[in-house]
Chains A and B, each alone.
Chain A
Amino acid sequence: MQVHKYDVVIVGAGGAGMRAAIESGQRARTAVLTKLYPTRSHTGAAQGGMCAALANVEEDNWEWHTFDTVKGGDYLVDQDAAEVMAKEAIDAVLDLEKMGLPFNRTPEGRIDQRRFGGHTRDHGKAPVRRACYAADRTGHMILQTLYQNCVKHNVEFYNEYYVLDLLTVEEDAVREDGTPYKQKRVAGVVSYDLASGELHVFQAKSVVFASGGAGKVFKTTSNAHTLTGDGMGIAFRRGIPLEDMEFFQFHPTGLAGLGILLSEAARGEGAILRNSEGERFMERYAPTIKDLAPRDIVARSMANEVREGRGCGPNKDYVLLDLTHLEPAHIDAKLPDITEFARTYLGVEPYTEPVPVFPTAHYAMGGIPTNISAEVLQDNDTVIPGLYAAGEVACVSVHGSNRLGTNSLLDINVFGKRAGIAAAEYSKTADFVELPEDPEAYTIDLLNIARNGTGDEKVALIRKDLQDTMDANMQVFRTADTLNQVLRDIESFEARYKNISVQDKGKRFNLDLLEAVELGFLLELAKVMTVAALHREESRGGHFREDFPDRNDEKFMKHSMAYKDDHAPADGSAESIAGIRLATKPVVFTRYEPMVRKY
């Protein structure tokens, strides 16, 4: 085991991690630990754009953007955080342009902007052109630009280092009102070097989690194979709560059967959805903004069309994204990548044929709770000094129960920057926290259980079974019955997981072993998501309960907070289900009263 010492350690090298690193690296001694080479991160798969009220092509302002974000999230958004994001969006875009990002331009040479779902003029009157973009590879350009600037600033990367544990200590402390409590403090992280199989402990004054999402709990997903929720899982196991995990976004337009994303920018540029009768069905579900309604509404509408028998194809299990009325030259200029995906993977020519699409698991609205300074919370309001989180792994919460398109690229830039600055500044005043004794012991156990298992269960098969039940029972439509089915299934998977063996026993590049560890995170997170979904007996944003089809502000206008608690009784009561304790956290309101959400 080797021990390294840095002021700041950043876990993850996607958009949030590298945006943080650019700030932190110029202020404090910083290391970025990433399980992938930085340019492999899934930020690079984002397509459509990044919204900011630049008003380059039509009237717009950040207050409208804030409102859209709050309404898009079905009022579960913390409004102070949404204001920060919408206000700082403008500088976030300009920062990227100054770093070199090649945005598409208007005839005047300004950054061009286009329409996107849920982004409107004057509180919902009509779609607005707010998304800044670089063709349909905006995420790719953001990831490349941030990596280029990390190279410029000599940011130190530890590539293919898997962070598997967070080192914390607990100190006795007393609240202002005199009640004693345990204050968590961060000491560092433990990581596994893929190339050598060796463990490396990183002691740090500040740790920033920017490790991305957990989409691989689902089968049909736009997420990369590597998005296994490691950061969320590590935090949860160390007693940090996870907020709003029941809210998972299903992006309407995944390539049917594959889940590969076709950007909402297609609809922003004029494409529309049709059912088997050739109907533009979104006219019925969202009469004002139709195909540009927020993702939760469009995804549910599509699933409903299929359920009611108006799906297309031999199994009537998808709908069509129609671009055939658009000029091929326009498609080539604005949507080259996604039309290529349709050609490559489905053999469909989007110039002349509509493309088969169906909702695909896309984005975790929930995650590690933070305040607007990106500081991680150990409960509703106690900050863990030195611990930060930003991006999809975090829940600040700017997305509430449903994220608007483009707001994730914005989130990673705004809160990544905030996290990087805050982490570096904190490290200047703080001392190192002493490492716990045997800091690597937990991780050695974790790896040994997987490596030395002699059972006959295969990791890939358990993972497939998990993904199957999540797709069948935890997708766009949910009921108590389907959710309880998932929990029963996960119980059996947990038992099987204890009986796995991996075939690769070596030390070098042992991805077989790491897939076993990653499955552990997936199982843990799928359970948290499902328990939270079961508890939320209402429908809001991305969470739709057929047995409770209405939003219930009186009972549920609050965030859910899930804590790992091995003593939580398995008594079937709503607040505790075997190993998980649920609590709530108030939503922050500033200027918008909840209204009925119509588009």
Chain B
Amino acid sequence: MSAELAEPASKIELPAGVGGGGDIPSFDVTLRVRRYNPEVSEDATWDDFKVTMYGTDRVLDALHKVKWEIDGSVSFRRSCAHGVCGSDAMRINGRNRLACKTLLKDLDTSKPITVEPIKGLPVEKDLIVDMEPFFQSFREVMPFLINKGHEPTKERLQSAEDRERFDDTTKCILCAACTSSCPVFWTDGQYFGPAAIVNAHRFIFDSRDDAGDMRLEILNDKEGVWRCRTTFNCSEACPRGIQVTQAIAEVKQAILSRKI
């Protein structure tokens, strides 16, 4: 615990070359962007944009460069630009990722980088999809604490272990990278999808919550957890590193073992 830490030294010898150094290399990349605008045409096309970028740049920086310097009509959502707001999930080289967390230098820049909207949700324009079906599924699992007991005057007590039990699933930023990477969701839009299950998990395993059975009942539906085929796409897609498939498995297990 911090209170017991020894005071750090007033002065230390810094290792040579600390903090990095040298010029940041620049390179050219081609961004191949999926374009769709029903005001113009019902057909989607690919547009290539060549831009000069730097080693610390992310895919989002390249998209901004395209939008700000070449074609202002290229449309995508973004906000925080460092992986916490969940606005810019997209398919980059065929994988679901956040554009603001994907460094260009980690991709093969010798070939065009393909950027497409996430799959399974209706495309509105270019990289922008209709998120409403996704949030509808989220709302259906009752994603809020339900406690039937009397409210204490101070906080409810919860042991550190009980708090840790659902820590992983509290990290979800609702970016939809997991749900839109799921092959079941692509073919069956009614499926709740991984993100809704993750958010149900966050409450089912919270020791303060009293409505776990109701959520398990909801997820025992034919469009619930049993549609999961354990392909692990969701876990690989999650930009927050949540063990999504494991969370789904835990919910399945809870349905099987619950006492009603």
Contacts and interface: CB of A to CB of B under 8 A. Distances in A.
B173 to A, nearest CB: 7
A531 B195 CA distance: 48
Contacts of B13: 278
A344 B240 CA distance: 12
A37 B136 CA distance: 13
A460 B69 contact: yes
Given A344-B103, A504-B72, 18 more contacts: A40-B86, A97-B155, A100-B145, A100-B208, A102-B170, A114-B2, A115-B2, A140-B173, A224-B79, A225-B78, A225-B80, A322-B8, A344-B83, A460-B67, A461-B68, A503-B71, A509-B128, A512-B73
- Of the four ranges (under 10, 10 to 19, 20 to 34, 35 or more), the interface on chain B belongs to 35 or more
Interface in B74-113: 75, 77-87, 101, 103
Contacts of A100: 144-145, 203, 206, 208-209
Interface stretch (B25-33, B158-166, B212-220, B224-232): B158-166
A37 B131 contact: yes
A354 B83 contact: no
Nearest to A261: B82
A39 B86 CA distance: 8
A269 B135 CA distance: 36
Contact of B160 (A105, A151, A322): A105
Interface in A265-279: 268-270, 272, 274, 276-279
A325 interface: yes
Contacts of B101: 344
Nearest to B55: A347
B84 A140 contact: yes
Contact of A45 (B14, B84, B125): B84
Interface centre among B75, B79, B160 (most CB of A within 10 A): B79
Interface string B1-42: 011010011111110001111110000000000000111100
Interface in B217-245: none
Given A97-B155, A102-B170, A341-B82, A280 B10 contact: yes
A512 B157 contact: no
Interface stretch (A78-86, A312-320, A584-592): A312-320
Contacts, number: 203
A479 interface: no
- Of the four ranges (under 10, 10 to 19, 20 to 34, 35 or more), the interface on chain A belongs to 35 or more
Contact of B145 (A111, A148, A260): A148
B124 interface: yes
Interface of B: 2-3, 5, 8-14, 18-23, 37-40, 56, 67-69, 71-73, 75, 77-87, 101, 103, 124-126, 128, 131, 135, 138-139, 142-145, 147, 151, 154-160, 163, 166-167, 170-174, 203, 206, 208-209
The 7 closest A-B pairs by CB, nearest first: A100-B145, A460-B68, A503-B72, A109-B157, A512-B72, A504-B73, A152-B144
Interface string A51-90: 0000000000000000000000000000000000000000
Contacts of B73: 503-504, 506, 512
